[in-house]
């Protein structure tokens, strides 16, 4: 068993020199004082970028978002909006005079707004009844392209009965259809352009507006997107509609249940990037070229063990395509050059070091990249780096100066060997002043969701406990178990047909390794997770009684029930190796914690959203009923009107309070030591 030590990227820090002595991390308020930057847009010269800055403000039960501008020359930030509800999707217009964005009008409908880049008063540009779902700015066309949705009902033999007896509820038969409109920014005339007989999931307009690209699906219901989405092109002048051949991401793909997303046009309007993402299989990126009479689909290679995440971005004025990729708990940029005539040029992955790239935006001249980057030492900030060359990023922002005084945990990556010989990696967070001679620490195993997700090396402070529990005296272990991204295709797909098996072995072997190294106290162990992490927290307690406490957040406990009730049932089918539940009853039983719940003895706290469509509440209720029947100490906390993730501040504070109390009661964290800057590092060497 080995330990991989950090190689810290030497990025210029905006933290003040000689900061005040560190204080204990404020568990209850830390999450609610951190600002976040996202959705970068950059002007033509690269001198100015805008981004959405979100924060918790007093008196609000949700995060507020506003538009900020940052000047690369002076490293100064300027707030452009104040209290605009629902702000998102900023785009800098031609000439760098205006920033366009989506926001809510007084009625709550989403409309397109704009504000001067130099600062001024935002104004709404649209008053579309029912609101705008998305917009595109065609730079050479002088127009905004808008996407709207309308609901209707399909006619069948029973429609008259539904209309007559409308006081009861029926299975949803609403057929949502979409329309693409063009708003001329000179005449302010709004005209409908295209109404496909499908629901438009995503829209992208070529810079010259010659083509409108759309990912479409039979309906707005998510279940119809799994394997049912396609890519269509529409010519507004010719009225030609083309469905792009889909063999590359359907017939020839590892799974028939992929989700299309991430449309992006190259500057010349003759190449279109698109993503296909799967549950359990690596996602892929394709480029659709329109040079000839028929679209040509080019698959992009992925070097090494990386996996792409999120949409790709074209470097303006080029045929170079960049996208974020996961590589061993780091997130970097993968840029592929000269994608043309069915061929691709060289590829490079950058920046090096311990970085987590959250978002990117290119200057209009293609020379500079703005990125939101996190490191083990810094919460995510806005950086600038050249699009070519290997210069280190320049930090521009200081979004969270209050964190300079926090006693933040030491963040380390670790590796160990699973029983089948597979090397597995993960992250450990340690109390900043703990000394090895004080003895092993109580350990909380925090499990990520997905399972096609990952835990990164970047600094976090989240309601799940990352960045918080170490300040309370716990060691926190975040394993990137089998099925996680960034460790190669085989590592990702090993989980298919083996849920509640190989990843459980990976996690328990990791706990054993930390106990063996003297870091974790085997008598004080807890496990916690949300979504797939909640599923695994429940599953682990059916395999062993070594955990003193478990926290199951929105976790699946029965695979057949999950297939029957969730909004994306292909997720279950994918991990059943392509089989439906009745075709693989043994896999269903083996993968369902509820089938083995009789072995559970671990006190368990359960969190669940009342309106969770992804993992319905029935799972939390079933697990709670079974534990109560068994006499296992357990609590079920149900969050009214909440979905799969908690968004309201009162809900997040409730979860934090319950989690901390549950862990402190059952695991009994020992008090932290006084001072040892290198103790945690030494313990892992």
Q: Tell me, what CATH number does 552's domain have? A: 3.40.50.1820
Residues 6+ apart with CB under 8 A from 431: 409, 410, 441, 470, 471, 473, 474, 475, 672, 673, 680
User: Comparing 42 with 72, which gets the higher pLDDT?
Assistant: 42
Distance CA 425, CA 389 (A): 30
Distance CA 305, CA 363 (A): 29
> Is there a contact between 427 and 457 (Cβ–Cβ < 8 Å)?
yes
Mean of the per-residue pLDDT values for the chain? 90
- Is 648 among the domain residues? yes
Residue 173: predicted pLDDT: 65
- The mean pLDDT of 612-641, rounded to a whole number, is 98
Of 37, 27, 24, 8, the C-alpha closest to 400 is 37
Confidence band for 389, pLDDT divided at 50, 70 and 90: low
Confidence band for 106, pLDDT divided at 50, 70 and 90: very high
- Is 567 among the domain residues? yes
Confidence band for 9, pLDDT divided at 50, 70 and 90: very low
Confidence band for 307, pLDDT divided at 50, 70 and 90: very high
Q: What's the number of domains the chain is made of?
A: 1
Residue 669: predicted pLDDT: 53
- Is 517 among the domain residues? yes
Largest Cα span, the chain: 77
**Three-state DSSP state, 551:** strand
Distance CA 496, CA 487 (A): 16
- Is 263 among the domain residues? no
- The mean pLDDT of 621-628, rounded to a whole number, is 98
- The mean pLDDT of 453-462, rounded to a whole number, is 94
pLDDT digits (tens, 9 = 90+) for 218-267: 999 899 999 999 999 999 999 999 999 999 999 999 999 999 999 999 99
pLDDT digits (tens, 9 = 90+) for 71-105: 988 778 899 999 899 999 999 998 899 999 999 99
User: Comparing 433 with 538, which gets the higher pLDDT?
Assistant: 538
- The mean pLDDT of 412-428, rounded to a whole number, is 97
Residue 136: predicted pLDDT: 96
What is the separation, in whole angstroms, between the first and last Cα of the chain? Answer: 11
- Is 484 among the domain residues? yes
- Is 21 among the domain residues? no
Q: To the nearest 5 percent, what fractions of the chain are helix, strand and coil?
A: 20, 35, 45
Structural domain boundaries enclosing 426? 403-684
Residue 167's Cβ-count burial label (10 Å; 0-12, 13-18, 19+) is: exposed
User: pTM for the full model?
Assistant: 0.92
- Is 619 among the domain residues? yes
Tell me the sheet residues that pair with 149. Answer: 178
- The mean pLDDT of 297-305, rounded to a whole number, is 92
User: Which tokens sit at 375?
Assistant: 């490191």
> Is there a contact between 428 and 519 (Cβ–Cβ < 8 Å)?
yes
- Is 118 among the domain residues? no
User: Which tokens sit at 364?
Assistant: 């209009």
pLDDT digits (tens, 9 = 90+) for 525-544: 999 999 999 999 999 999 99
- The mean pLDDT of 381-386, rounded to a whole number, is 91
Residue 154: predicted pLDDT: 62
Confidence band for 153, pLDDT divided at 50, 70 and 90: low
């Amino acid at each position: 068993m080995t330990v991989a030590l950090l190689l810290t990227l030497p990025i210029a820090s905006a933290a003040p020199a000689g900061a005040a002595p560190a204080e204990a991390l404020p568990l209850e308020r830390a999450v609610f004082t951190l600002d976040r930057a996202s959705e970068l847009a950059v002007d033509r010269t690269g001198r100015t970028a805008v981004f959405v800055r979100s924060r918790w403000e007093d008196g609000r039960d949700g995060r507020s978002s506003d538009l900020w501008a940052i000047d690369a020359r002076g490293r100064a930030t300027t707030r452009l909006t104040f209290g605009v509800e629902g702000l998102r999707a900023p785009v800098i217009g031609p000439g760098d005079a205006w920033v366009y964005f989506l926001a809510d009008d007084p009625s709550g409908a989403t409309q397109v707004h704009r504000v001067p880049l130099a600062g001024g008063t935002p104004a709404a540009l649209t008053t579309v009844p029912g609101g705008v779902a998305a917009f595109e700015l065609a730079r050479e066309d002088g127009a905004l392209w808008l996407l709207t949705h309308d609901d209707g009902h399909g006619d069948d033999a029973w429609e008259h009965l539904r209309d007559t007896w409308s006081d009861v509820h029926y299975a949803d038969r609403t057929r949502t259809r979409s329309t693409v409109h063009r708003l001329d920014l000179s005449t302010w005339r709004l005209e409908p352009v295209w109404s496909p007989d499908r629901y438009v999931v995503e829209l992208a307009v070529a810079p010259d507006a010659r083509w409108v690209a759309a990912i479409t699906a039979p309906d707005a219901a998510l279940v119809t997107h799994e394997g049912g989405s396609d890519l269509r092109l529409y010519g507004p002048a010719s009225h030609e509609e083309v469905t792009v051949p889909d063999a590359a991401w359907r017939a020839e793909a590892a799974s028939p249940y992929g989700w299309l997303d991430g449309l992006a046009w190259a500057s010349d309007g003759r190449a279109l990037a698109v993503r296909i993402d799967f549950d359990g299989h690596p996602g892929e990126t394709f480029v659709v070229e329109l040079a000839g009479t028929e679209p040509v689909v080019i698959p992009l290679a992925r070097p090494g063990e990386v996996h792409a995440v999120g949409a790709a971005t074209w470097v303006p004025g080029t045929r170079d395509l960049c996208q974020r990729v996961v590589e061993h708990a780091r997130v970097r940029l993968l840029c592929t050059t000269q994608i043309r005539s069915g061929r691709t040029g060289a590829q490079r992955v950058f920046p090096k070091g311990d970085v987590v790239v959250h978002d990117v935006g290119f200057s209009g001249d293609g020379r500079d990249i703005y990125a939101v980057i996190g490191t083990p030492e810094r919460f995510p900030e806005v950086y600038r780096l050249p699009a070519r060359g290997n210069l280190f990023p320049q930090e521009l922002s200081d979004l969270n100066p209050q964190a300079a005084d926090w006693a933040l945990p030491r963040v380390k990556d670790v590796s160990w060997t699973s029983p089948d010989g597979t090397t597995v990696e993960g992250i450990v967070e340690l109390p900043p002043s703990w000394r090895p001679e004080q003895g092993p620490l109580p350990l909380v195993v925090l499990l990520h969701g997905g399972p096609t997700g990952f835990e990164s090396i970047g600094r976090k402070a989240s309601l799940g406990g990352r960045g918080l529990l170490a300040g309370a005296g716990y060691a926190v272990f975040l394993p990137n178990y089998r099925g996680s991204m960034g460790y190669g295709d085989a590592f990702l797909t090993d989980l298919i047909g083996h849920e509640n098996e190989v990843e459980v072995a990976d996690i328990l072997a990791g706990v054993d390794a930390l106990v063996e190294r003297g870091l974790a106290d085997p008598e004080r162990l807890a496990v916690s997770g949300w979504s797939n992490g909640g599923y695994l927290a429940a599953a682990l307690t059916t395999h062993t009684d070594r955990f003193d406490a478990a926290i199951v957040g929105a976790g699946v406990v029965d695979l057949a029930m999950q297939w029957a009730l969730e909004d994306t049932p292909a997720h279950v089918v994918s991990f059943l190796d392509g089989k439906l539940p009745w075709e693989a009853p043994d896999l269903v039983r083996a993968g369902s914690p509820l089938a083995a719940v009789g072995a559970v003895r671990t006190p368990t706290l359960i969190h669940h959203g009342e309106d969770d469509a992804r993992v319905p509440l029935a799972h939390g209720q079933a697990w709670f009923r079974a534990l109560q029947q068994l006499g296992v100490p357990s609590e079920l906390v149900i969050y009214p009107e909440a979905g799969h993730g908690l968004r309201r501040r009162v809900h997040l504070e409730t979860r934090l309070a319950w989690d901390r109390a549950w862990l402190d009661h059952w695991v009994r964290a020992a008090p932290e030591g006084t001072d040892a800057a290198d103790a945690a590092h030494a313990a892992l060497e």
